[in-house]
A and B are shown apart, each in its own frame.
Chain A
Amino acid sequence: KNEVEQSPQNLTAQEGEFITINCSYSVGISALHWLQQHPGGGIVSLFMLSSGKKKHGRLIATINIQEKHSSLHITASHPRDSAVYICASAKYYGNNRLAFGKGNQVVVIP
């Protein structure tokens, strides 16, 4: 079992819909990262969370430390949100390494 599990693996939404994707992790962590990768593109960091909630534009990330679970919400989705969203965990006593999930493929149809 991977340390980081993401669901759903694939999601298709109509433009304007509210989207939620999920990440569960199995060990205690110091922080949880959400990354975005557009088709054929590079990987960029969206959020870094150690508790609570963060918001940037139409994106909201939440984390529940007790339940070892994080969600990424996209409000008023747009075709430009179509991307793979990758969740990664940083361990408390790690060696500056991250454990990555396999990603959520999101497609937003106009």
Chain B
Amino acid sequence: DAGITQSPRHKVTETGTPVTLRCHQTENHRYMYWYRQDPGHGLRLIHYSYGVKDTDKGEVSDGYSVSRSKTEDFLLTLESATSSQTSVYFCATGLALQSSYNEQFFGPGTRLTVL
């Protein structure tokens, strides 16, 4: 267990409001990831970070932004939430070792509903 927490665990919000999800890790892992999980799609990468202040887009990044000011924390922001962003969001972390074969450790997930 990589000691990954996500907050909040559940959130209901209205269309057009900003939302920030937080991921916190205690394992000093270099890589952090935000995914969304929807029926029929599996896990899809939103954004990821390869170090403090170093982030890059994933396959479904439109409408999302991220920030990483400390190793431990990776924030996902929906600037203006839409109903299509209703989903379960997972944070994950990973080591920067070639021998780790990209193994990732997942947080418990955040269920977000946008009305």
Chain A interface (Cβ within 8 Å of chain B)? 30-31, 33, 35, 42-45, 48, 50, 86, 88, 90, 94-98, 100-103
Contact = CB atoms under 8 A, between A and B. Distances in A.
Contacts of B58: 97
Determine the main DSSP class of B at the interface with A.
strand
Nearest to B98: A30
Interface of B: 31, 33, 40-45, 48, 50, 56, 58, 90, 94, 96, 101-109
A90 B41 CA distance: 19
A78 B106 CA distance: 25
A44 to B, nearest CB: 7
B48 A102 contact: no
A100 B106 contact: no
Contact of A42 (B44, B50, B103, B109): B109
* A contact patch SS: strand
B45 A97 contact: yes
Contacts of A100: 42-44
A103 B21 CA distance: 25
15 contacts: A42-B107, A43-B90, A43-B109, A45-B104, A45-B105, A86-B42, A88-B43, A90-B101, A96-B48, A96-B94, A96-B102, A97-B58, A98-B102, A100-B43, A102-B41
B103 A45 contact: yes
Nearest to A29: B101
Contact of B96 (A42, A96, A102, A103): A96
B102 A90 contact: yes
Contacts of B44: 100
B57 to A, nearest CB: 11
Contact of A86 (B31, B40, B43, B107): B43
Given A43-B90, A95-B50, A100-B42, A31 B105 contact: no
A97 B48 contact: yes
Contacts of A44: 106
Contacts of A102: 40-42
